[in-house]
């Protein structure tokens, strides 16, 4: 199911339209964010490994009057992320917003010793964000302006059983985001950390540990639509240059999750 947005004309509001690059754009929060920001009149450049989905999404956006392009992206490869950002800049002339969204959540108790899953979590959730910053920050500094939107989780504030490594990765994203904010005292580069609670996505589909997978199914009984998180991102992106929305936590109403 897709969200029915009334698409603005990106060319009509050229001064307000921004160039937004989104990682992990093939599903979930990334896909919803691409749709929402394109509908708001921004030009979106989409990255993920599943190019068939990116192609379908970019076609949908352009058919509705928006502006979208894509390139295959592996956020665990620093050179690939750098090339991705360079391609966005070459196509649109600049990069105004970097949405570091790509993430994985392979939960398991530590004594299961799923070391390869730990490594994958760190590679995608932490290194992927750092590689995004490394690729886009020089571009934004050269422009004199830019905005990072880093997607964390309520797991960036609390730890739960089976989620120690996942939460550690999101604590890291929170720390990296705050450090980047403090290192941008002139306000030229803005930083927003968005931490969703339980959200409809494919994140839980990759949980191999049977007990953790079953617990997550119960945990996700009440979940936000991805479009709700996209709306929070759109709010931060829409603020005037002198306003930096630093942290947004979004949960299902009435839920502690």
Residue 166 annotated among the catalytic residues of the structure = yes
Written as six digits, the tokens of 182 are 């403090």
Catalytic residue among 70, 92, 131, 166: 166
C-beta separation of 175 from 181 below 8 A: no
C-beta separation of 245 from 236 below 8 A: yes
Neighbour count for residue 156 (Cβ, 10 Å):
23
Q: Strand, coil or helix: what is 151?
A: strand
Whole-angstrom Cα distance, residue 24 to residue 29?
8
Give one DSSP letter per residue of 32-72, joined into a string.
HHHHHHHHTT-EEEEEES-HHHHHHHHHHHHHTT-EEEEEE
Neighbour count for residue 217 (Cβ, 10 Å):
11
C-beta separation of 188 from 144 below 8 A: yes
Whole-angstrom Cα distance, residue 211 to residue 161?
11
C-beta separation of 38 from 68 below 8 A: yes
Token pair 């917003």 is found at 97
Q: Which residues are known catalytic residues? A: 166
């Amino acid at each position: 199911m897709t969200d029915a947005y009334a698409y603005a004309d990106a060319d009509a509001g050229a001064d307000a339209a921004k160039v937004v690059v989104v990682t992990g754009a093939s599903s979930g929060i990334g896909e919803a964010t691409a749709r929402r920001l394109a509908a708001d009149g921004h030009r979106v450049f989409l990255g993920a490994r599943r190019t068939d989905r990116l192609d379908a999404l970019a076609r949908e956006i352009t058919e509705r009057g928006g502006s979208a392009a894509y390139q295959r992206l592996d956020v665990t490869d620093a050179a690939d992320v750098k090339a991705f950002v360079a391609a966005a800049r070459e196509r649109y002339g600049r990069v105004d917003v970097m949405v570091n969204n790509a993430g994985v959540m392979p939960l398991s108790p530590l004594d299961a010793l799923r070391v390869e899953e730990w490594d994958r979590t760190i590679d995608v959730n932490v290194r992927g964000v750092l590689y995004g910053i490394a690729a886009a920050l020089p571009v934004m500094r050269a422009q004199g302006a830019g905005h990072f939107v880093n997607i964390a989780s309520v797991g960036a504030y609390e730890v739960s059983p089976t989620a120690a490594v996942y939460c550690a990765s999101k604590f890291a994203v929170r720390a990296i985001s705050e450090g980047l904010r403090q290192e941008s005292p002139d306000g030229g580069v803005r930083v927003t950390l968005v931490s969703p609670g339980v959200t409809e996505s494919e994140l839980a589909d990759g949980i191999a540990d049977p007990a953790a997978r079953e617990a997550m199914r119960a945990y996700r009984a009440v979940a936000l639509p991805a479009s709700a998180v996209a709306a929070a991102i759109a709010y931060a992106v829409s603020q005037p240059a002198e306003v930096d929305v630093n942290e947004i936590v979004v949960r299902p109403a009435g839920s502690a999750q």
